Amino acid sequence: MNAASVILRLFRSAAKIQRKRMVMTVMAITWGTISIVLLLSFGEGLKRSMVDGWAGMGTGIAVIWPGETSKPYAGFPPGRDLRLLQEDVDLVVAGVDEITAATGEIRSRPQLAWGRVSVNKNVIGAHPAYGELRNHRPAEGGRFINELDFRLKRRVIFLGDELAKNLFGEHEPLGETVQVNQVPFLVVGVMQKKKQMGMYGGPDADHAVIPLSTYEAVFGRRYLSNLVFKVAEPEQMERAKKRFNEVLGVKYRFDPTDERAMYVWDTVKTQQTGRNIIIGIEVFLGVIGALTLLIGGVGVANIMYAVVRHRTREIAIQMALGARRVYVMGALVVEATALTFIGGGIGIGVGVAVVETLAFVQSKVDNEAMQFLGQPTFSLPVALVTVLLLGALGLLAGYFPSRRAVAVHPAQALRYE
Amino acid sequence: MFGHFGNGGKNGGNGNGNGALVELAGIRKVYETGPVTVEALSGVDLTVRAGEFVTVVGPSGSGKSTLMNIVGCLDTPTGGSYRLKGEEVGRFTLDRLAEVRNRRIGFVFQNFNLLPQLSAFENVELPLLFAGMATRARRERAEELLAEVGLADRMRHKPTELSGGQMQRVAIARALACRPDLILADEPTGNLDSGSGRDILHVFEDLWQAGHTLLVITHDPAIAQRAPRSVTVEDGRIVADN
C-alpha cells in the first residue's frame, strides 16, 4: 500500500458531489481546449504555408540587380551605371567560396504563341543552375533546361504551369513548339505547381525559361537583368554578399562598401523577418487560446474551492484519523487534474476533428487567400503545448484550494457544519 | 468478548518510567476572534497514566472539548507543555502530528463523524489506509474489528443505513483500528438513546478491562459514576479530580 493508492481511494470518495457543476466546468475546459487547439493549429498551418512559400522561391538565395555607384572610387566620379554579364557569374562562383551556385537572368516580355493562342509573358534566359536555385521542378515527363542546351544554344523552353495552361489548355505541352517572337522553341518541361511567397517580376508559374546562351544568340542581348546566387548555409550570406562586392568591385572599379552599386535582395534576411512575424502571430494566438483555457481553469479552481468547503468536515475527519496533508492535498489536486484532462481530452478530440474537417474543406477550395492561410495543422508541438497548459492548469486549480483545505486546524473544521 | 481489543501490554511501560501517558502542565488556550479574546483553558495540569479510565465532566463552555482537542493533537495550545508518552508534542511537525493522531490516539465523537460516502467497513479501513497497511492485512483487521463490535452483518452498510448506536460502534472500531495508546471520546453517548448509551458504556468498560487507556468527556452521570477517576473542569481550570 503506498501513498498513490491512498490518494486514489480518497479521490474516489470525493468525486461524488457537485455533479452538475462538474459537467459545466468540464465543458468550459473543453471549450477552452478547442479554441487553443484551433488557434494553434491555424498558426501552425500559416507557418507551414509561409515556409513552403519561401521554399518555393528558393532557399538561401540572394537576388542582385546591378545599380549605379554612389561613391567616387579610383578616380571615377559617382553616378556610374554598372552592368553585368554571364561571365561575371562565373567570376563570382570561382572567386567567392561561400557561393555554391549562381546564374544570370535576362528578362523580357515577348509574345508567346502556340497555334492560334498567343500571350505576352516573361521569358527568362538563365543558366541550368536556375532550376535548382529558384526551385523550378519539372512535372512528370519533362525536364528543366540542361548543360547541353546551354552549351549548344538549343531553342528549348521550360514553361511555368500557369503559362502552360494558358497556352495549351488541356493539351499536353511536352514536345510541342512554341513561338517566342516568331522564333520556334521546343517545350521540354513544365514546372510542378508550387507555392511561392517572394517574387520579382511576377510569379514563376507565369513565366518561361530558356537557356541564357540561346537568349543572347537569338534576341541579341548580353547584359543581365539580374543575378541569383545561393549559399550553402544561411549564416554564410553576410560574408558572401561582402565578398561578392569585393570580387566585382575589382573588375568594375567600384567601392565594395558602396551599397548602391549592387542592389541586393537577401532572402535569408527576409525569411528571418517573416519567421519572427510568424512566431509573434503564434505567440499571440497561443496567448488568446491560453486565456480562454484559463477561464475554464478558474472554473475548475472554483469547483475545487466549493468541494473543499463542502467537504471541510470530511477533510477534518480524515485529518483527525491521521491523513497526512499531502494525502488530502493530493486527492484534491488529482481531482482537479482529472477534471481538467477529461475536459481537455474531449476538447482535443473535438478540436482535431474540426481542424481535420477544415483542412479537408480547404484542400478542396481553390481560393488564393484560403491557400495562403494554409491548412490548419494539429502538430506534435501544438499537442504538447495544449497538454502542458492543461496539466499546469489542473495542478494550479487543485493546489490552491487544497492548500486552503489543510490550512485549517482539524479541531476548528470539525466544528464546522 | 473483546479479546482482540487488547494491545499486548503496549501501555505497560513508557519512556519516563512513571507510567504517565498524557502529561499536561500549565496548558492555556486562547481564542482570538476579532476584538474578543476568550481564554478557554487557563492553566490545566493533568496526568493520565496508561491503563486509566478517566472522565472529564463540567458545564458546557467550561473548556472540556478544547481540552480534548489539545490532548488529541487536533489543536495546539497557546501555552504550556503537553507530553505524550514523554515526548513534547509542541515540537512535532504537522505530519508527525498526523501520525500521532493515526497511530496513538483513537477518536470517538459525539456525532460519530463517519464519512457518509463510505461503508462501515471502509470507514474502519481508512485509518489503516493512512497508516500504510497492506490491503489484505487491512481488510482482515477491519473485519475483525467490526465483528468485535457486533456489526459483522452490517459491514457493507452506509452510515445512513445504521442506527445511532451502530454508528457509534463503527466509530469505536475505527478508533481502535491502529491499536492506539489512548482512546479519546467526546460525549460518546450524547446523541444516543439511553439503551444505546448503556451499550456503548459497556463497550468502554470492556475496553478498559482489556487494558486500554480512556479519556472520556461526558455529561452522562452514568459514565462518570462508573469510571474510577473523574476530573471536573470549570472556567478553563480543573476544579476537582477524584
Outline where DSSP puts E strands in A258-416. Answer: 262-266
Please tell me the predicted confidence (pLDDT) of residue A263: 94
Nearest CA to A256 out of A238, A267, A243, A239 is that of A243
- Coil, strand or helix: which one is A8? helix
pLDDT for B10 equals 46
Q: Residue range B28-46: average pLDDT?
A: 89
List, edge to edge, every strand of the sheet that includes B20-33. B36-49, B20-33, B79-84, B87-88
**Higher pLDDT residue, A89 or A53?**
A89
Sign of CA dihedral A360, A363, A369, A373: positive
Q: What is the pLDDT of residue B3?
A: 47
pLDDT at A258: 92
Q: Do B138 and A1 touch (CB under 8 A)?
A: yes
The per-residue DSSP string of A47-87 comes to: HHHHHHHHHHH-SSEEEEEE-B--S-BTTBPS--B----HH
Cβ neighbours of B72 in A, within 8 Å: 320
The pLDDT assigned to B5 comes to 54
Instruction: Give the closest of A13, A16, A321 to B102, CB-based.
Output: A321
Best A315, A321, A325 residue to mutate vs chain B (most B CBs within 10 Å)? A321
Query: In the prediction, which pLDDT does A373 show?
Result: 67
Q: In sequence order, what are the beta bridge partners of A120?
A: A111
Check: CATH 3.40.50.1100 for B3-241? no
User: How high is the pLDDT of residue A371?
Assistant: 66
Q: What are the grid coordinates assigned to A313, written together? A: 468536515
Least CB-CB distance to A6: which of B76, B107, B129?
Answer: B129
Rounded CA Rg of chain B: 17
Q: How confident is the model at residue A239 (pLDDT cuts 50, 70, 90)?
A: very high
Cβ-nearest to B107 among A1, A320, A325 = A320
Phi-psi region of A11 (alpha: psi -120 to 50; beta: other; left: phi over 0): alpha
Instruction: Kindly indicate the confidence band of residue B14, based on its pLDDT and cuts at 50, 70 and 90.
Output: very low
pLDDT of residue A387: 87
Q: Which of A20-24, A253-257, B149-153, B162-166 shows the lowest mean pLDDT across its residues? A: A20-24
Please state, for a pLDDT cut of 90, what percent of chain A lies above it: 49
Q: What is the pLDDT of residue B15?
A: 41
List residues of chain B with CB under 8 Å from any CB of chain A. Answer: 69, 72, 74-76, 94-95, 98-103, 107, 109, 113-118, 122, 126-127, 129-135, 138, 174, 178
At A145-177, the pLDDT tens digits run 999 999 999 999 999 999 999 999 999 999 999
Q: Locate A258 and state its grid cell.
A: 558602396
Q: How many helices (H) and strands (E) does chain B have?
A: 7, 10
Tens-place pLDDT, residues B186-205: 989 888 898 898 889 899 99
Whole-number pLDDT of residue A152: 96
Contact by Cβ (8 Å): A229, A61: yes
Render pLDDT for A316-327 as a digit per residue (tens, 0 to 9): 888 889 888 888
pLDDT of res. B9? 43
Q: For the residues of B199-240, what is the DSSP string, one character each?
A: HHHHHHHHHHHTT-EEEEE-S-HHHHHHSSEEEEEETTEEEE
For residue A318, which residues of chain B lie inside 8 Å, CB to CB? 115, 126, 130
Grid coordinates of B74: 487536533
**Per-residue pLDDT tens over the stretch A100-155:** 999 999 999 999 999 999 999 999 999 999 999 999 999 999 999 999 999 999 99
ipTM of predicted assembly, 2 dp: 0.86
pLDDT of residue B11: 44
Q: Which residue of A has its CA nearest to B127?
A: A321
Calculate what percentage of chain A has a pLDDT beyond 70.
93
The lowest-confidence range among A45-59, B1-15, B91-105, B221-235 is B1-15
Residue A264 is classified by DSSP as E
- Averaged pLDDT, A84-97: 93
Mutate to test the interface with A, among B129, B135, B145 (most CBs of A within 10 A): B129
Q: What is the largest CA-CA distance in chain B?
A: 53
Check whether B48 has a pLDDT greater than 90: yes
- pLDDT score of B28: 93
Q: How far is CA B36 from CA A231, B31, B32, B39, B40, in A?
A: 82, 8, 6, 10, 12
Chain-wide mean pLDDT for chain B? Answer: 87
Query: Which residues have a Cβ under 8 Å from the Cβ of B118 and sit 6 or more positions away?
Result: A13, B126, B158, B159
